[in-house]
Every structure is written in structure tokens, then in C-alpha cells.
């Protein structure tokens, strides 16, 4: 059965180009009314442009419905005004895709803390601002689909991206907690870790790979994760037409002997502690304590 977004209203941040544009275009093509949010700044967050308006024109030219919005995701008042504008124009907000982001890459030794803070502010705090602005609305209407944008850098690390990685893994943690808090209200929260050739990555990808990693090839996974039948609490990698699932796992671990709970015992048993046989995928933080109790009881 085809996935349709008829009757749905979606906000996509950072939708003036790259991945956000691809999401906005496909949502509109499938019937959603879309708020295209983008300041239109450069990759480092500086400046402004009419990028959002241009995407809106693309959507309208193809027969879709959209409005442009230039709110900064780091300004909660502006974000609240954006949500109010969406409700005035379209009556509701059903979908939020937190995609806005900037890059200020340097090795941690050379990184100014101002550059650390601003990247965390845009990615992590900006996503929290947008989510908070729609959270009560989605709870009240008993429907919401929210997508956070993480990254392989956040999940696995990348040289020269300490600020970006910290923000991106923070988003995965935020999504996990909100997926639990939103369950009874039919608000589902997931995380996408995209790999795409955009202006954010154009100087990282080899030229011969740029065509393989088109932003449009991430959109199928994203639209599924904000659809009516979406899962919740999923971390999904997508790029070049490949879709993967990522997990935060926990090994069974070892109960240190009561008479030898020492660093030396940890060192001696390290291979057993890190043995992945029988590892689990906890569905909440409480499971770590529960598994510890089970190991103490010899289970």
C-alpha cells in the first residue's frame, strides 16, 4: 500500500537545500502541506538567503502546498511563532523533521569553544526547541511523528568533528527518551543518520561518489519514519539507497567477586566483560540496572 501524507502538515527545518529540500519535496508530492524552514545561511551558519522560498516555489510548481519560514531554530520564540504560523495556515502540525544544522570542523586541539557551543546549539538545542514547540500540540491531538537527525559521527566518531559528534549523539539520546514519553499519546520519535552528498559533505566525498549519495536516496527511509505506521525509538542509517538499523547494545557483563571488586579484577576479566555473546538492546535506561541485578543473582 502506498504511503500517503494527505491531510498531514509537516515542518522540515533546514529545508532550503540538500537533505531537507529532498524531504520537503517528497512529502509535498505525497500530499503533505509543508512548512519549509531555513535561514538560508552558509555551511558555518553565517548569512541568510531566500533558499526556503525557492523550495516553496518548486513545491507549488509541482502542484503541492507549502509556505516558507525563516525562523532560527536556536531562538525558541521564533520557533513558537513558526508553529503558530503553520497552525494558522494549515490547522495543525503532524510531522516535525529536525534537519537544520551547521558545520565548524576542526580538531579538538584547535577548536575554539565558541565553535563547539554554536554547533551544539544549532543541532541539539535547536532540535529540542522545535520539538518542545510542537510537543503539547501533538499530545493533545494524539498524533505526532518526530524525526531527529543524528550522524555516523555521533554514533561512531570522526576526526575533527568533536562538536558535531557530541550534538549528534545527544540527539539520539533525546529521541530515545522522547519515544518513551510520547508512546501513550501516539507520538513516535525516531532518529535518522543520513549519508549524502550535500554542501555539508561536498569536500569530504570523493568526486566519483557524489552521484551515488544523492540526498533523494535518503528520503525513502525518512518518509517511512514519519509515516502513520512508523516505528518508534529506531535509529536508522540511510545513504546511496541502502537502509540500515543501528543499535545501542549492552553485554551480559560480569559480576565481580564480592571480595575482589577492584580495578585489577576489571582488567583481568575485561575479555569476559566485553564478550558480545548474548548482548541485549535495552529499550530504556532502567534495563542496565535490571541486568546488573540479574548478574548478581547468577542469571
* Active site residue ranges: 164
Q: Kindly state the cell numbers that stand for 169.
A: 549523539
Longest dimension (CA), the chain: 73
Question: Are 32 and 59 spatial neighbours (Cβ–Cβ below 8 Å)?
Answer: no
- Between the two ends of the chain, the Cα-to-Cα distance in Å is 45
- CA angle 294/173/180 to nearest 5° reads 70
Distance of CA 196 to the CA centre of its chain: 14
| Total residue length of the chain | 299
Q: Count Cβ atoms within 10 A of the Cβ of residue 51 and give its class: 0-12 exposed, 13-18 middle, 19 or more buried.
A: buried
Q: How far apart are CA 299 and CA 291, in angstroms?
A: 9
Percent helix, strand and coil across the chain, each to the nearest 5: 45, 15, 40
Q: Is 114 helix (H, G, I), strand (E, B) or coil?
A: helix
Strands 33-37 and 65-69: parallel
Q: How far apart are CA 30 and CA 46, in angstroms?
A: 33
| C-beta pairs of 270-276 under 8 Å, 24+ apart in sequence | 275/251, 276/249, 276/251
Amino acid at each position: 500500500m502506498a504511503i500517503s501524507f494527505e491531510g498531514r502538515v509537516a515542518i522540515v527545518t533546514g529545508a532550503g537545500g540538500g537533505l531537507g529540500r529532498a524531504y520537503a519535496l517528497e512529502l509535498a508530492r505525497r500530499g503533505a502541506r509543508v512548512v519549509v524552514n531555513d535561514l538560508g545561511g552558509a555551511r558555518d551558519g553565517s548569512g541568510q538567503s531566500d533558499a526556503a522560498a525557492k523550495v516553496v516555489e518548486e513545491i507549488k510548481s509541482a502542484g503541492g502546498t507549502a509556505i516558507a519560514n525563516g525562523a532560527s531554530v536556536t531562538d525558541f520564540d521564533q520557533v513558537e511563532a513558526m508553529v503558530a504560523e503553520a497552525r494558522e495556515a494549515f490547522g495543525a502540525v503532524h510531522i516535525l523533521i529536525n534537519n537544520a544544522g551547521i558545520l565548524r570542523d576542526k580538531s579538538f586541539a584547535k577548536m575554539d569553544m565558541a565553535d563547539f557551543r554554536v554547533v551544539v546549539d544549532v543541532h541539539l538545542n535547536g532540535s529540542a526547541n522545535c520539538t518542545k514547540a510542537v510537543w503539547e500540540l501533538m499530545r493533545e491531538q494524539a498524533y505526532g511523528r518526530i524525526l531527529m537527525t543524528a550522524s555516523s559521527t555521533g554514533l561512531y566518531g570522526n576526526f575533527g568533528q568533536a562538536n558535531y559528534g557530541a550534538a549528534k549523539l545527544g540527539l539520539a539520546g533525546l529521541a530515545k527518551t522522547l519515544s518513551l514519553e510520547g508512546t501513550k499519546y501516539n507520538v513516535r520519535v525516531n532518529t535518522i543518520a543520513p549519508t549524502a552528498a550535500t554542501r555539508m559533505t561536498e569536500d569530504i566525498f570523493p568526486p566519483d561518489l557524489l552521484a551515488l549519495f544523492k540526498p533523494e536516496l535518503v528520503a525513502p527511509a525518512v518518509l517511512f519514519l514519519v509515516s502513520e505506521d512508523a516505528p518508534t525509538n529506531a535509529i536508522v542509517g540511510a545513504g546511496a539507497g541502502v537502509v540500515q538499523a543501528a543499535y545501542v547494545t549492552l553485554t551480559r557483563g560480569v559480576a565481580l567477586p564480592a571480595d575482589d571488586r577492584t580495578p585489577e579484577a576489571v582488567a583481568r576479566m575485561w575479555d569476559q566483560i566485553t564478550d558480545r555473546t548474548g548482548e541485549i538492546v535495552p529499550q530504556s535506561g532502567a534495563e542496565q540496572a535490571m541486568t546488573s541485578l540479574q548478574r548478581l543473582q547468577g542469571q
